[in-house]
Amino acid sequence: MELKELRQKIKDAPSSELFANQVIQINLPRVSMNRKFIGVSAFYEYLLNQIEGFQSFEGELPEELNTSKKYFLDLKKKIISFIQSYQNVDVNSFSNVWGRDVGNSVLASRSTLIFEFDAPVTSFLLEIYQSKKRNYKGALDYVSDTIVVNELREKNYLNGLILAYEYFQKGETEIEKRRVREKSSLTRLRNQIDKYISDSEKDFIELSKGFESSVKATTDEIIAYKEEKSGLYEEWFESTSANFSEFDTASKKKVIDLETLYREKLKLEAPAKYWNDRAVKLRKEGNRWLISLVIFTLVGIGLFILLLNFLSNGVLEDIFSDTATAIKWSVIFITFVSFLAFLIKTFSKLTFSAFHLVRDAEEREQLTIVFLSMQKEQAIDPTERHLIMQSLFSRADTGLLKDEGSPTMPGNIFDKIVAGNK
């Protein structure tokens, strides 16, 4: 049983003052040691310290120290048994029951050689036992004042007596006197400490009872305060939960919308890049056709001028002087002019077709961006989305045909874009 638990049992006892005022006195005449305690808890604390001290010794212990350790252990067990069995004992029976169950065991120290673990003589005997075991018997008999005369002829016994004599006498009379005075002073100091501990234990038990009622009142106040704050917390929690639920719903919806927008972006990111790359490619192709058209036109004009210069020197009269020759050269001239006109028209169609497809690709790219923007603003319904997707991925004409193949803005989309930007 721990000291704290024993104090609690004494405090809970109906007659706790009996335990607090009980006087316990230990007499150790063999080693000139007397201890007095007031209060069962103070004596129990002393026993715990002695038991812990003996258990801290290392190595083999002499029989006397083991006996001392057992003595303190037995007293501890008897006090625990007494507390558990007679906690509700009445005032008239307390002294008799205590003397019978515990007091007689305490008095056993008068007839038994008992040592305290922290006594100087205990350290001296333990050192002799562990380092000079053959001299231990003589030193022990000197300490306990039970010298056996017949053993004086044995050298080891005599050496033990001498070691004990030197320990107590210190070699000089004045030192011995000083040792006696110091021992007396230490004894008085120890008795004062024991008295202080006993008084403290008594005061502690008395104060703990008053403190318990104070603690109970404080506990009731804490419980009331806790209940009040619990109600306020529940109100706050309910309002916060409702707000959080609304926020959570809105956040989830926004996340879903962003995920949808991101998926649409992933779907249309590649087509937008394709239309951009195609616009660049077609623009380069249109520039090449335009350059080819200009070059061919200039070459055709140059050849036509050379031909006119050639015919201006009387050659035309020679050609038309002969009917067959005139017909032949007329066919050649008409064919040349027709072929030149055909090539110019072809190159012009290729040029305008390329630039037409460039515009078509740019419009599809812009329509893709517009679609993503409208998707983000949620300004598009499924029908308009279908029309935009159809416009984006419809087959584009080559530009050489009459039909217009560029995408068109489906109903009111442009109006929604303008309204969303305001």
Of 245-249, 266-270, 405-409, the poorest mean pLDDT is in: 405-409
Q: What is the 3-state secondary structure (H, E, C) of 171-183?
A: CCHHHHHHHHHHH
What is this structure's pTM?
Answer: 0.44
Work out the pLDDT band at 406, boundaries 50, 70, 90: very low
**Sequence-distant (≥ 6) Cβ neighbours of residue 88 within 8 angstroms:** 13, 14
Write the pLDDT tens digit of every residue in 56-83: 988 889 998 998 899 889 989 988 888 8
201 φ, ψ (degrees, to nearest 5): -65, -40
pLDDT above 70 as % of the chain: 73
Collapsed DSSP state (helix, strand, coil) of residue 283? helix
What residue ranges do the domains of the chain occupy? 1-117, 259-421
- Say how many residues make up the chain: 422
Give the model's pLDDT for residue 405: 44
Give the model's pLDDT for residue 316: 59
pLDDT above 90 as % of the chain: 5
Write the pLDDT tens digit of every residue in 360-389: 878 777 777 777 666 666 656 666 666 666
CA-CA distance, 291 to 93, in Å (whole number)? Answer: 132
Q: Which of 10, 24, 25, 5 is nearest to 86 (CA)?
A: 10
- The better pLDDT of the pair 26, 312 is held by 26
Inter-residue contact 102 to 19 (CB < 8 Å): no
Write the pLDDT tens digit of every residue in 142-201: 888 888 888 888 999 889 888 888 888 765 544 455 566 567 767 777 777 877 777 777
Q: Which amino acid is at 13?
A: A
pLDDT of residue 10 exceeding 60 = yes
2 φ, ψ (degrees, to nearest 5): -75, 160
Write the pLDDT tens digit of every residue in 237-248: 888 888 888 888
Q: Is 145 left (phi over 0), alpha (psi -120 to 50) or beta?
A: left
CA-CA distance, 157 to 201, in Å (whole number)? Answer: 46
